Structure 1
Amino acid sequence: MNTHRSNGEHLLSINGVELCAETFGDRANPAIMLVAGGSASMLWWDARLCERLAAHDRYVVRYDHRDTGRSTCYPPGQPAYSFTDLTLDVLGIQDALGIERAHVVCQSMFGGAGLLLGVDHPERLASLTFVSSTTGADTLPPPSGDLTMPAEPDTSDAAAVAAYVVAGARALAGDSPYFDEAATRALAERDVARARSYASTLVNHYAIESDKPARGGFGDIAAPTLVVHGDHDPFLPLPHGEALRDAIPGAELLVLKGAGHDLPEPVWDDLVSALVRHTREDRS
């Protein structure tokens, strides 16, 4: 049996809501939990990337945050949850899938979830990876380049919403030579068509405040930690990744050459190799 193909989507009842998750590979293998960035459904972790990780004897899980994809949605501008709730959803999915400890990979604003998990729930982590994230220190450089977005679209117009999403992805890619507009448009169209409420997707994650851990900060993370950052990231320039590496004891930094804030396919070889090494069960 080809065990690294998708095992299908599951609607899971967790923490009083429905969360849609998809698994890849054999559940007996070490688990990698992929936590997407703000306003991003599971689709932004490309299924082919998930399959490549699963082919290295990993059990890969991607899922829709609340207010994305097929998971529970709230009225636009009225998210009835906290950042901590979104973080606890990760543990709820682990519980539902029978995963005691996972290698958690957090992207962009949900690096904050990695911080909360690493400090307040270390017993549930085998390792942490931060992708295109930051410590949030005031001394770090501001965004670079042109991140000006067009006016927000009429959310009843699916084509306009997809075009808006593509414009955002193009801006976050910066001057990366790897931005693929056609592939991004196809992804955006799938994402918009699949969502319960894309109007909620666009705004609700940004209407909550990032919670701080109860037990400390980045310096208190004990899990083996990998930081992944593109050297063309215009939103969080590379010094943000370097600062994150320096803030976490023993953390390592992988710089993805040519990548912006996203994970374009030409850098997957380097990313997969690094994640496979980082998620070895025989780490010492």
Structure 2
Amino acid sequence: MAASKVIANIPLLLGHNESYLPPIRGGSHALQLLAGPATMITVLGLQMLKKQLTGMHKSELWNHIWKFISKAEARDKLGRIVQYFCRFLQGALVHAPSSPLAPYKTVIAEVQTTLAWARRTNRWGKAMPHLPVLGQAVNSGDVLEAAQRAILITFLIQDHIYWLLKVGILKFESYSAVQWHRRNLRFITLSHVLNFSLCVRDVMRIKEKQQLKDPKYSGTKEAEESAEKSIYDNKRMMFRYVLTFAQMLHVSQVKQMDDWYVGLMGVVSSYIDVSKQW
């Protein structure tokens, strides 16, 4: 009740630091208050300039960007790019302690941690699309696909348990939250190995069907281009899994490496993921 009264007594318009028009304490305070409105006016000005130059407010690029960032997976991988770039910066600052960025090392670490937890919070339910595929793989006897999906689903479930441990909903006697997390990273590490193997298998199957003159993969320009694109995409993902495998070895502390190049690996592998969403 006391807290409610305090909130209710804050003036709406004037006289309080949280009012619409607070008393100005100095130039820096005024700049802080103007940051939001000034940015809004700037982007509005740019929008009006675009209308004058092109004759329309609508922008296909703008709409495409909005559709892109509306995807949960795209936002997640964009966040991962920033997260691993922060890891790169932290590693680089170890080797350059006199860098102008050195005073911001704590801030960089906080950004990395905050993004990691934001991504983990939004990971709930991510196992759902893998369950039907796991069932199909089991029924068809596809051991490699079934193993990969089973391990990935296990990782995601255990990742949720880590979240519950971290916020205090669960408590394990044998594991701290961090220990549980590092153990769980071994599962996603193995998942990357199996994903790499699946890509190798797909490439081999495509090439085999090309040799057998399968009309889906050869005989016409369209079929051959489609086959080559599939091979390229698989090889690209194989490169991605090599990078993520190394990242997980480091983050899980199985193999201690350097944050600066592990961070760059994370940026590159995340870019590959982001480009698939674009």
TM-score range, shorter chain: under 0.3
Answer 1 or 2: which has greater strand percent: 1
Answer 1 or 2: which has greater helix percent: 2
| TM-score normalised over the length of structure 1 | 0.26
| TM-score normalised over the length of structure 2 | 0.27
Q: Based on CA coordinates, which of the two structures has the bigger radius of gyration?
A: 2
